[in-house]
Structure 1
Amino acid sequence: MFCPGCGEKNSIDKKFCRACGLNLEQSAQSLLEQFPSAKSPDLEKSERRLEKFGNVAFGGLIVVVLASVVGMIYTIFVKFILNGSGVIAGILLILFLIFAVLGLAYVAFNESLKEKRHAGPKRYGDPVLERFDTGKLLNENPFDPVPSVIEETTDLLPVENKTRKF
């Protein structure tokens, strides 16, 4: 953490800046308020593993559900349509199963999209700016004015003298 007064680098657990003596507790508190999601790397790693496990488990569930839906459609096709006893009922059951699965897929994708929208973009530090020490002041270069296009071409217009000379 850098001291807001002098720009000196200090550790987070220090209460005062060693260079200028500024109280750093308020600065540390405001930093924690701005970035409340500062987690330990182990916790983030375990969260990523848990998320991967959940994705694999959910993918397996989807495969099992789709396989059972295909099996039910096959059973309905064989028992009702090929048998000839309930062709219309079989077609309606197959259409019901297909649209029920499509409706559930729509709800699942819509909810995941809402979660992604509410989570917002992840903010990462700019890798270009992280390389530089931001506590140091920039070099003050002297200001060179930009030359104008009409700088040396402006001449006074000739004026007729209308006053009488005695």
Structure 2
Amino acid sequence: MSKFCPSCGEQLADNAKFCKNCGMNLETQQQTQQTTGTQQTMPPYEVQKVEEDHKIAIIIGYVFAILIPIIGVFIGVYLVTRKDSEKASLHGKIIIALSAVIWFISFKLMGY
């Protein structure tokens, strides 16, 4: 017989002590139910969306945009396509523009 987490509804093993999804302590919940004799209703578990950081990719993107612009363009495209972070998308656009400018300047300095 399977049991379910009273907080998030995740299906659990019969001998589970904690919910593998939300981390709720199931032993405390069972003790509370035994003490009061009733099943407590938990408020709905809300998952807050956390924006991905992408700090390392942003830093590497700026470094490569200056040193090796073609790699900076690839990293910029990677950051622009991140749907989970507006900040990463903005920095990706800046990195692509910076790479293009550095690339243009380097070709002008070489005489092309």
Q: What is the TM-score normalised by the length of structure 2?
A: 0.29
Q: What is the TM-score normalised by the length of structure 1?
A: 0.23
Computing the radius of gyration from Cα coordinates, the structure with the larger value is: 1
